[in-house]
């Protein structure tokens, strides 16, 4: 299996995409440690993984709190003796509104949350990865030249994470640690069935793709597992496009 004997941390694992990635990691042999703020949602994912024969544990972690993140990662490292993969997909608390009307605090919030969380989770994992001269940091979201009106600070937050990715990749590369971002043009399965305007949103996502289909949760999980594996060992400081052609590189 791609991730046999690996230890993976997944922040935001209670969400649909985070849960899909956690399941994919476990299916490929990783011991998965799920982190998030809502324990009940994490436990459901952990139960699913264990029911399928995988190894998973859940912990309530605030990925914006330095002490919470450090304690979580240190505890996993003490228990397992290693940290191989750290994947962060927390919510940034963004308000999607035109820049001309959005409140300053609503605009800044996702940028600060994104940078703070990715900095804290990467630093905590890297401290243990450096000891083994190996490890993979994965972010989700990506960015590019496309711009869509009315998204507030959300895309700016993604751009900030990409800048952080490049800096971390530069500093961690000499220690054998890779940093890669995954990006999609939207994953319809991540939208609740009763989400307002869901049908129109899904149609728009699919229409924007070159393959005339949107990425699925399974697609994202499979690609994340491959990128986290040793088979992608030459890949770092990069963004992996899982958009079915909706986003052009």
Predicted TM-score of the model (pTM): 0.96
Asked if the model's pLDDT at residue 6 lies above 80, the reply is: yes
- pLDDT at residue 144 in the model: 72
Give the model confidence (pLDDT) of 73-125 as tens digits: 999 999 999 999 999 999 999 999 999 999 999 999 999 999 999 999 999 99
**Contact 109/153 with Cβ under 8 angstroms?**
yes
Residue 148 has pLDDT above 90, yes or no: no
Strands laid side by side in the 238-241 sheet: 55-60, 31-36, 7-11, 85-88, 135-140, 177-183, 238-241
How far is 25 from 17, CA to CA, in rounded Å? 12
Confidence of residue 215 (pLDDT cuts 50, 70, 90): very high
**Backbone dihedral angles phi then psi of residue 65, each to the nearest 5 degrees:** -105, 120
Confidence of residue 3 (pLDDT cuts 50, 70, 90): very high
């Amino acid at each position: 299996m791609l991730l046999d004997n690996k230890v993976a941390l997944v922040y935001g694992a209670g969400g649909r995409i985070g849960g899909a990635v956690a399941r994919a990691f476990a299916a490929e042999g990783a011991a998965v440690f799920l982190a998030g703020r809502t324990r009940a949602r994490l436990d459901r994912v952990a139960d699913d993984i264990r029911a399928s024969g995988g190894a998973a544990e859940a912990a309530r972690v605030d990925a914006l709190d330095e002490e919470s993140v450090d304690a979580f990662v240190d505890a996993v490292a003490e228990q397992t003796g290693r940290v191989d993969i750290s994947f962060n997909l927390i919510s940034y608390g963004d308000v999607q509104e035109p820049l001309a009307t959005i409140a300053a605090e609503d605009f800044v919030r996702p940028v600060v949350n994104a940078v703070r969380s990715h900095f804290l989770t990467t630093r905590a994992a890297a401290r243990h990865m450096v000891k083994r001269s190996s490890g993979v940091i994965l972010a989700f979201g990506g960015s590019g030249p496309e711009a869509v009106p009315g998204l507030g600070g959300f895309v700016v937050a993604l751009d900030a994470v990409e800048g952080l990715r490049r800096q971390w990749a530069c500093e961690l590369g000499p220690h054998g640690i890779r940093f890669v971002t995954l990006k999609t043009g939207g994953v319809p399965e991540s939208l609740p069935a009763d989400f307002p305007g869901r049908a129109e949103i899904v149609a728009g996502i699919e229409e924007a793709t070159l393959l005339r289909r949107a990425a699925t949760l399974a697609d994202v999980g499979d690609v994340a597992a491959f990128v986290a594996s040793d088979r992608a060992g030459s890949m770092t400081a990069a963004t992996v496009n899982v958009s079915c052609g909706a986003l052009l590189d």
